[in-house]
């Protein structure tokens, strides 16, 4: 059987008080769209969420297993597991089973020690902390945009608009990304969720290209 290609758009960005994450909602298998309203922001704790790309079954299984370990350690030790430690729990599984899994995740969250944090774990199980990151097929269209627009000490509203516009631009160009835009804000108060429909409550930031005739205009008196 031929390989089935899948796609998605995941964006995460830190700000002074936490993290803003945004995703599209399309689940696809090649040219077939399996779902238009998938929730790719998976909560692990009140202050931690996972963004999933790759095989939906693989990422869901790894998230469920890691969530069990995180909850167990929290009960045994009597304090929440840090975002960095949770990242290493997931990284270990992704590394140990790197030949069997097709899973790339972004660990996002907030704790009192390091505040808002973003850890990217691509295929293979290598993790890095980043101020902002993009993953999935849509990321190839907006990495340069994020590099040019992100600046240190951005306010919450600036970061929120950057994440929204990056997801919107990715879905505009990437055929494997689409649907609604799901947003999550993670800070000291927990996680807040927002939903945006590009056709309803999102400002138009891309001009639709005009249609051109495929043939040159016919001039009067011109010979065929």
User: What amino acid positions are annotated as catalytic residues?
Assistant: 8
Q: Give how far Cα 129 sits from Cα of 3, 137, 148, Å.
A: 31, 20, 19
Q: Which residues on neighbouring strands pair with residue 196, listed in sequence order?
A: 181
Q: Which of 8, 13, 5 is nearest to 164 (CA)?
A: 13
Place of tokens 């005009």: 210
Number of H helices, E strands in the chain: 4, 12
Beta-carbon contacts of residue 191 (< 8 Å; ≥ 6 apart): 43, 46, 47, 49, 184, 185
Q: Tokens at residue 150, please?
A: 């992100």
Q: Is residue 163 within 8 Å of 184, Cβ to Cβ?
A: no
Helices within 47-138 (DSSP H only): 56-77, 83-96
């Amino acid at each position: 059987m031929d390989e089935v290609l899948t796609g998605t758009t995941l964006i995460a960005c830190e700000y002074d008080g936490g993290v803003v994450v945004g995703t599209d909602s399309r689940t696809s298998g090649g040219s077939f769209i399996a779902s238009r309203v998938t929730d790719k922001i998976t909560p692990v704790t009140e202050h931690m969420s996972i963004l999933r790309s790759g095989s939906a079954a693989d990422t869901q299984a790894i998230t469920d297993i890691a969530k069990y370990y995180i909850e167990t350690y929290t009960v045994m030790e009597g304090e929440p597991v840090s975002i960095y430690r949770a990242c290493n729990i997931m990284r270990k599984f992704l590394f140990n089973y790197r030949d069997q899994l097709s899973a790339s995740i972004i660990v996002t969250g907030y704790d009192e020690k390091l505040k808002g944090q973003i850890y990217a774990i691509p295929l293979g199980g290598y993790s890095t902390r980043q101020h902002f990151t993009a993953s999935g097929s849509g990321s190839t269209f907006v990495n340069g945009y994020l590099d040019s627009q992100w600046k240190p000490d951005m306010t919450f509203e600036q970061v929120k608009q950057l994440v929204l516009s990056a997801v919107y631009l990715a879905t505009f160009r990437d055929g494997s990304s689409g649907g609604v835009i799901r947003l999550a804000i993670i800070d000291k108060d927990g996680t807040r969720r927002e939903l945006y429909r590009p056709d309803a409550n999102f400002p138009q930031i891309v001009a639709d290209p005009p249609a051109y005739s495929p043939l040159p205009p016919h001039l009067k008196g011109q010979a065929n």
